[in-house]
Structure 1
Amino acid sequence: MALTSYAEFPPCPALRPYVACLWAAHTDPAAPPRPHRVLPDNCVDILWQDNRPDAFAVGMMSAPIWVPAAGPVRIVAVRFRPGAAGLFLDAPLHVLTDSRADLADLWGRADALRLHDTLWQPKLSTAARLRRIEDALLARLARAAPSTPTLGQRAVAAIEAAHGAVRVDALADALAVSRQHLALQFRQQVGLTPKLFARICRFRRASAVLRDDGTDVAALALDCGYFDQSHLIRDFRDFAGTTPDAWRR
């Protein structure tokens, strides 16, 4: 599925602590079909498509995937901040890792199908569709009634502040929990292990820098907290399926 149009939109203020963005995309029927590569981004999304009867949630990814070419499709979606999707999906997030689940199985068929049907009413604008998604999320947030950040969310904040250059033992000590407890809670509340989440966070920083300028790969590895260049190359192979040099071409 080669997306010929893609745009991101900020969430309403009440959803900003939990939602990274809403987004919309479509394919051009006249464009030649080609597969689309998706890299791990430490996020969970829900997608609604006009060419299928059910919405679905896509869990965190530990490796890149190629989405096969498909026919014309319009998509509206929400992308959650790391550790926040569980409030809206009523499920431990590790069960979605490297997979997806129909929203009907997570929300109940009646609620999921009702929203899907209203989103694809004829002549409804993209902005109106996104507002209806926000209304559904706000209703679920009110039922969840979050009070304080979870352990997973506090760990995510620390890892992201360090751009992934953090040791799990040190992180557990800083949060005053055992490494085992942190690993269990993080996996359930975020979807990955803390170590893998940190690796992807570090890779995302390195890949963004490498694509924006001509930084030497060895220097980039040190700047991004890698032990050496070989560890950076390994992460590019694991998370992008390519090498750093090929990535920036």
Structure 2
Amino acid sequence: MSIVKTRPVHLGKYIQCFYSVLAVQGNIAIHRRLPDGTLDLVFNLGEAVSLSRDEVKFNLMPAVSLTGLYPDKSFLCYADKVHLVGVVFQPGTAHLFIKDSLAHIKASTLDAGDVFGKDIYLLLERLAGFPSEIQRHYFLEKLLMKFIGDYQQEHYQHNILHAVSDIHVAEGNLDVSLLHHAHLMSERNFRRKFVDFVGMSPKQYAGIVRIKSFSKRYKSTRMNYNDILFDLGYSDQAHFNKDFRKIVGASPGMYFSEMDPLAENFLHLI
């Protein structure tokens, strides 16, 4: 199973990347995916894919889905031919495309037709007709440009985007209770706008970024745990283990020992 990833040509301010997941499965495969704190628009050009929060009860994903705003782990079950084409929106900008707050999308997977209209299903056939993943990605970017064409920057949009940037620069290791001061907003208004634009609270988002930063560093370098934990502001491993298990649903040792190539590719997707 492999991932093809491309960067947007025109919409880099609003979209992190496009990706395609491709495989022909001989057996059923279950993939544990870490949360990214991002919203994805996903088109399924292959066989059915099921999603679960607990690895026990699986539900079919809609053929065109809005998904990804999970505060913790999720599980994807693939069988037979896998061909997913996805759009990863920049945190803080996805609401501009769906024309609504992201608060109601958190911890759920929605049928994209309920948001964009059922005509979005007509794109499945058009996407299938392109000879390459790069062409599929570019087609989606041109389509999404129409949604952003009449965009008027919302009040506080600039503040929230800068707060998201601050969280990433610090790799999640910062006092989020002080962010509203840095961006000249009241604490209540900052939190409310952050949830509207990003889809989760600043604390939840920073926690995801922190654990994702650890996972990317550890998987890339195999450095000693303690060296990475110190850089990310953890004073002891017990605190880190608690945070990791809360978001990932497994201990660090279990997660990395069982990591498959697809999980590693998704780890470095964004």
Q: TM-score, normalised by structure 2?
A: 0.82
Q: Counterpart of 2:159 in structure 1: which amino acid?
A: L
On the 8 A contact 1:20/1:80 being kept in 2, the answer is yes
Tell me if structure 1 keeps the 8 A contact 2:8–2:138: no
1:111-132 Cα distance to aligned partner (Å, 9 max, x none) = x1232332123x6432222221
Structure 2 distance, partners of 1:35, 1:159, is 31
For 1:27 and 1:210, locate their aligned partners in 2 and report how far apart those are by CA, in whole Å: 27
Give the one of 176, 180, 194 matched to 1:186.
194
Residues 126 and 216 of structure 1: is their aligned pair in 2 closer, same or farther, counting only changes over 3 Å? closer
Q: Secondary structure at the match of 1:15?
A: coil
- Per-residue deviation, 1:105: 1.0
Give 1:67 shift. Answer: 0.9
Pick from 21, 33, 36: which aligns with 1:41?
Answer: 36
Q: Percent identity?
A: 26
Q: Confirm whether residue 161 of structure 1 aligns to residue 169 of structure 2.
A: yes
The code of the aligned residue for 1:99 comes to S
1:213 aligns with 2:221: yes
- Greater than 6 Å deviation, 4+ residue runs: none
* Structure 2 SS opposite 1:180: helix
Q: Which amino acid aligns with 2:28?
A: P
Closer, same or farther in 2 for the Cα pair 1:143/1:103, shift >3 Å?
farther
Cα distance in 1 for partners of 2:165, 2:99 equals 22
Cα deviation, 1:162-221, whole Å, max 9, x if unaligned, reads 111111221111111121111111011101100010111111111112222343333322
Q: Are 1:9 and 2:6 matched, yes or no?
A: yes
RMSD over equivalenced CA pairs, Å: 2.0
Q: In the alignment, residue 133 of structure 1 is paired with which amino acid?
A: L
Q: Contact 1:59/1:93 (CA < 8 Å) preserved in 2?
A: no
Q: Secondary structure at the match of 1:67?
A: strand
Unaligned runs of 5+ in 2: 49-61, 258-270
Work out whether 1:55 is the aligned partner of 2:64.
yes
Contact 2:34-2:74 within 8 A present in 1 as well: yes
150-159 vs 36-45, which deviates more? Answer: 150-159
Cα 1:176–1:91 change in 2 (3 A) is same
Name the SS for the 2:37 alignment partner: coil
With the length of structure 1 as denominator, give the TM-score of the two structures.
0.89
> Which of 185-194 and 48-57 deviates more?
48-57
Q: Per the alignment, do residues 95 and 59 of structure 1 end up closer, same or farther by CA in structure 2, a change over 3 Å counting?
A: farther
Alignment partners' CA distance in 1, 2:242 and 2:199: 22
Aligned in 2, Cα 1:208/1:54: closer, same or farther, shift over 3 Å?
A: closer
Which one has more relative contact order, counting CA pairs under 8 Å at least 6 apart? Answer: 2
Residue 27 of structure 1 is aligned with which of 15, 23, 35?
23
Distance, in Å, in 2 between the alignment partners of 1:179 and 1:106 is: 30
Q: Is the alpha carbon distance of 1:248 and 1:73 closer, same or farther for their aligned partners in structure 2, counting shifts above 3 Å?
A: closer
Equivalenced residue count is 242
Corresponding residue for 1:74? Answer: 83
For the Cα contact (< 8 Å) 1:44–1:82, is it kept in 2? yes
